[in-house]
Chain A
Amino acid sequence: MENIDHEKKLKITCYKAVKNVCQETAKNMGLGMEKAATDLISELIWKKAKRIAEDLELFAKHAKRSTINADDIKLLVRHNEKLKEDLSKLAEEMKKARKSKKSNVATDNDFAEVDSL
C-alpha cells in the first residue's frame, strides 16, 4: 500500500512541475492552455522519466558503477545535437562551480569585484 502512495506522490509532483512549465510557456506565447493539454504532456513526461531511469541505470551498470553521473546523461542524449551541446555546457558549469567552491584561491571574478571599489 505504501508503495502506491509513494508513487502517487511522485507522479503528482511531476504533474505540478510540468504544469508550471507549460503554463509559463503558453503565457509567453499569449495563449491559454487547458488542463487536458497539460495532463497529456505530464503523462508523457512521467513515462519518459521511467524510460530515462531504466536507460541510465543500464549505462551506469555497463560502466560498472552504481551511481549515475553526467557521462550517462550525455550518452542518453547522444542522438540530439542541441541537447548534447546544452548538457555538455551545463556539466561544465556545474564542474566549475564545484571547483571554485572547493579552492580558497581567488578567481578572476573575485579580482574584478575588487577593482571596481
Chain B
Amino acid sequence: MEEASADAFHTEALKQTLKHHFKDPKTRASDDAARMTAHVLEIMTREATLRAGKVAEASNDICIRQEHVEKILPLLMLDFS
C-alpha cells in the first residue's frame, strides 16, 4: 500500500512544479526530496478526502461535496502546517 505513494504524484512533474516556484534558478530538488514531497502531498490529499468523507457520512450523503471539504479544511491546515 505504501508504494502507491510513488505513483500518484510523479517525481518528474513534481520536481518541475517545485522548480517553478523556486526563487533561485540554481535551486533544484533531489529525487529523494521529490519522492518525499510526493508522499506528503498524497497523505494530505488522502487525509482531506477521508475527513470530508466522514462528514458526508454523518450527513447521510453518499457523495463527498464541496461543503464537506470546506468543513474539514481549518483543522487539516493546522495538522499539516
Contacts and interface: CB of A to CB of B under 8 A. Distances in A.
A14 B69 contact: no
Of A54, A66, A87, A90, most B-chain CB atoms within 10 Å: A90
Interface string B37-51: 101111111101110
Contacts of B27: 57, 60-61, 66-68
Interface string A30-45: 1111101101110011
Contacts, number: 159
Of A40, A70, A86, most B-chain CB atoms within 10 Å: A40
Interface residues of A, number: 52
Given A39-B66, A54-B23, A68-B27, 20 more contacts: A17-B8, A18-B45, A21-B49, A31-B57, A34-B66, A37-B68, A40-B66, A41-B49, A44-B73, A49-B17, A49-B18, A49-B41, A52-B37, A52-B41, A53-B18, A57-B23, A66-B27, A69-B32, A73-B33, A73-B37
